Amino acid sequence: MDNSAELQTFKIVIIGDSYTGKTSLAYRLCTGKFYEKLETTIGVDFFQKIVNINDERVKIQVWDSAGQERFRKSMTVHYYRNVDAIVFVYDITSEPSFQSLTLWVEEYKHYTIPDKVVKILIGTKSDLTESKRVETNVARKFAEQYGMPFYEVSSKNDGDKQTIETIFSSVAEKLQKEKPVVLKRARVLNKSGSLQSRGSEKSATLEKNVTLKDEKEKLEKEKKKCCGSGS
Ligand SMILES: Nc1nc2c(ncn2[C@@H]2O[C@H](COP(=O)(O)OP(=O)(O)OP(=O)(O)O)[C@@H](O)[C@H]2O)c(=O)[nH]1
Ligand SMILES: [Mg+2]
């Protein structure tokens, strides 16, 4: 029986400029493949992957957000709601995409409680060494300044498949340590009419999954409205 709905779930949002390779990264992580003909993301796409961390199965839910402002619009607040980790992305062949990181950091600070979010920085398209425009040292300094681990990867290169999985697993491991399942206190009336608290690990996980499901449905509706499909 598939009990994945009951697994502890971590919401990881990938943000960065358009064309930096966010979808390619999520796609490589969750399907194991590189798809050359991706179209720009409108609103948000979802991917998920179940990983084993310290003998426990946990679900990584990857929110792949649009880089283009016109496709983000009203959805920004949804990206950041209940976010556990943020993957900041720039393209190593694009200096402007690196410069934009300052704005992306400003945005995440505005919408989250920064200390509660795990952050990492990824420079994408590391296979394009000839066209590299952002020096590794400069990017590393930036990452250190914000206390983020830093990696350069290629979603295109089959050899980096394992590296990408390891990076996301390390995020999940950190989250697992920092965010043990919080017991949900259900307040129930006993026979004498007084209030009692009851805790359930399973219900806490389920509650989060149900919330995310609702959020996903809401987003799908807004996505349709925003993009005018179904006129
Ligand atoms: N050479 C190379 N190309 C890549 C890599 N990752 C992505 N690309 C290409 O870069 C382009 C943009 O990739 P996407 O994954 O669609 O970028 P995105 O950040 O999701 O863009 P938006 O959805 O518009 O925000 C595509 O043509 C990809 O094939 C990589 O690691 N190496
Ligand atoms: Mg995309």
Q: Which helix (DSSP H) or strand (DSSP E) does residue 72 occupy?
A: helix 69-72
Q: pLDDT: is 3 or 58 the higher one?
A: 58
Is any atom of ligand 1 closer than 6 Å to the C-beta of 115? no
Distance CA 44, CA 64 (A): 6
pTM of the model: 0.84
pLDDT computed for residue 182 by the predictor: 53
pLDDT computed for residue 202 by the predictor: 42
Task: State in Å: Cα 35 to ligand 1 middle.
Answer: 9
Index of the ligand 1 atom closest to the CA of residue 157: 31
Nearest CA to ligand 1 atom 14: 21
pLDDT tens string 167-223 = 999 999 999 998 776 544 444 444 444 444 333 334 444 444 445 556 666 666 665
Whether 153 shows a pLDDT value over 80: the answer reads yes
Average pLDDT, rounded, for the chain: 84
Check residue 57 and report its DSSP letter: E
pLDDT computed for residue 210 by the predictor: 47
Q: How far apart are the first and last CA of the chain?
A: 40
Distance of CA 214 to the CA centre of its chain: 17
Q: Please give the domain boundaries of the chain with CATH numbers for all domains.
A: 9-178 (3.40.50.300)
**Residue 213 class from Cβ within 10 Å (0-12 exposed, 13-18 middle, 19+ buried)?**
exposed
Whether 129 shows a pLDDT value over 60: the answer reads yes
Is any atom of ligand 1 closer than 6 Å to the C-beta of 94? no
Distance of CA 186 to the CA centre of its chain: 29
pLDDT tens string 23-77 = 999 999 999 999 888 899 998 999 999 999 999 999 999 999 999 988 877 788 8
Whether 18 shows a pLDDT value over 90: the answer reads yes
The residue type at 120: I
Is any atom of ligand 1 closer than 6 Å to the C-beta of 154? yes
Check residue 156 and report its DSSP letter: S
Which two tokens mark 2?
A: 């598939």
Distance CA 126, CA 146 (A): 22
Is any atom of ligand 1 closer than 6 Å to the C-beta of 38? yes
Nearest CA to ligand 1 atom 4: 125
Q: Which helix (DSSP H) or strand (DSSP E) does residue 44 occupy?
A: strand 44-53
pLDDT computed for residue 38 by the predictor: 87
Task: State in Å: Cα 58 to ligand 2 middle.
Answer: 25
